[in-house]
Structure 1
Amino acid sequence: MSLWRGETPLILASQSSARKMLLANAGLEFKAITADIDERSIQAASKLSNPREIALLLAREKAKAISAHHPGSYVIGADQTLALGEHLFNKPAGRPQAMAQLRDLAGQTHELNSAVSVVRDGKIVFEDVSVARMTMRQMTEAELSAYLDAAGDAVTSSVGAYQLEGLGIHLFERVEGDHFTVLGLPLLPLLAFLRRERLVAV
């Protein structure tokens, strides 16, 4: 049974399996629609350098793109950035770039900035950015290669070349922040907003 009480369908502007799982597990009925935007061009044009601001901008633009075609619906946009100090990471293009990213992150603490933006009829009605601090353990080249062999093509689907809900858990010695932030959707603040708007049953 869905807990969603909105008059129009809830829409997730993403095909992320992790984000879809989080909403489904929370008992929310929704449609998942990919936002066809050029994230790197939007980021470059914005001149932003703060990882939190970039994540929020991209979450907002995804939601706006879908909202334009679905009047009346609440549209959830989400994005995540990974920063090691001043260095911002993107999804690796292939195994060599994934290996390079993991070498940089090994033994270091980086930040995941997870942003959510809810848009209705082109208007932003809610936004939030949550942060998780991730400490990756030191690893040998052989360990990194073994991880990349086991993870396969999945390493190119996530920034930082890992998915904590899968084999990526082996890379870490400490995680500070909630599980939802790590998976790319600040679910607790999002649900609090939906409750305030009387859009969920509990």
Structure 2
Amino acid sequence: MTIWRGTKPLILASKSAARQALLANAGIAFEAIPAELDERAIEVASALSAPGEIAALLARDKALFVSARHPDRFVVGADQTLMLGERLFSKPAGRAQAAAQLRALAGQSHELHSATAVGRDGEILFENVSIARMTMRSLDDAAISAYLDAAGESVTTSVGAYQLEGLGVHLFERIEGDHFTILGLPLLALLRFLRSQGLLA
């Protein structure tokens, strides 16, 4: 018996391995078709500053971009922002930037804002923003360097230079919030919506 009841697979407008794993583990038939958008340009043009609003805008834009190219399909867009005080973080461009981000986050608490939107035929049918609060332990330069050596190129694929589902878990002393929110796809709210549409058994 399959859980998915849609006539065609769900589309995930993301290349995130963590998001794809969450859907696969939940038994949802999907295909990943990343939205080829200039996220930073969209963010700047929007003039938004609230992290939840930025994440929601990008999630909507990704869902709409892909759904416009795949008629009659349910498309999930997702985005995540990281805020430390008044500072908004983006994915680090390389090792040096990852190290700088980790130095800023070490010993501090920051917030992850994870947004999800579902689009179909140019219309947003569902959207949700969830927040998790993360407290990183104190890290000296030697600890940061050792982490970067071990984590490798993966540090450039996630905002904040860590992936909690991997080696990034060693960086933290306290976490408050939903595990799925931290991984970038608030899954429980998404599943409720999909059930409401008759797409899940």
Could you say which TM-score interval applies, normalised by the shorter chain? over 0.9
How is 1:125-164 mapped onto 2 (pairs within 5 angstroms)?
Answer: 125-164=125-164
Distance in 2, Cα, partners of 1:188 & 1:34 = 22
Counterpart position of 2:171: 171
How is 1:57-72 mapped onto 2 (pairs within 5 angstroms)?
Answer: 57-72=57-72
Runs of 4+ in 1 over 2 A off after TM superposition: none
Q: Per-residue CA shift, 1:94-147, capped at 9, x if unaligned?
A: 111111100000000000000000001010000000000000000111111100
RMSD, aligned α-carbons: 0.8
Q: Per-residue CA shift, 1:54-102, capped at 9, x if unaligned?
A: 0000011011010001111100000000000110000011111111100
Please give the secondary structure, in 2, of the residue aligned with 1:103: helix
Go from structure 1 to structure 2 and tell me whether the alpha carbon gap of 1:76 and 1:159 turns closer, same or farther (over 3 Å shift): same
Counterpart position of 1:20: 20
Q: TM-score, normalised by structure 1?
A: 0.98
Please state how far the C-alpha of 1:187 moved relative to its aligned partner. 0.2
Distance in 2, Cα, partners of 1:111 & 1:97 = 19
Distance in 2, Cα, partners of 1:64 & 1:171 = 35
Distance in 2, Cα, partners of 1:9 & 1:163 = 27
Please state how far the C-alpha of 1:22 moved relative to its aligned partner. 0.3
1:10 maps to amino acid: L
Distance in 2, Cα, partners of 1:132 & 1:42 = 24
Q: TM-score, normalised by structure 2?
A: 0.98
Distance in 1, Cα, partners of 2:9 & 2:18 = 20
Unaligned runs of 5+ in 2: none
Q: Per-residue CA shift, 1:133-186, capped at 9, x if unaligned?
A: 000000111111100111111111100000000000000000101110000001
Please give the secondary structure, in 2, of the residue aligned with 1:68: helix
Distance in 2, Cα, partners of 1:34 & 1:124 = 17
Counterpart position of 1:110: 110
Please state how far the C-alpha of 1:44 moved relative to its aligned partner. 0.5
Please give the secondary structure, in 1, of the residue aligned with 2:8: coil
Counterpart position of 2:181: 181
2:93 maps to amino acid: A
2:178 maps to amino acid: D
Residues 15, 34 of structure 1: 8 Å contact kept: yes
Please give the secondary structure, in 2, of the residue aligned with 1:4: coil
Please state how far the C-alpha of 1:8 moved relative to its aligned partner. 2.9
The total of aligned residue pairs comes to: 201
Unaligned runs of 5+ in 1: none
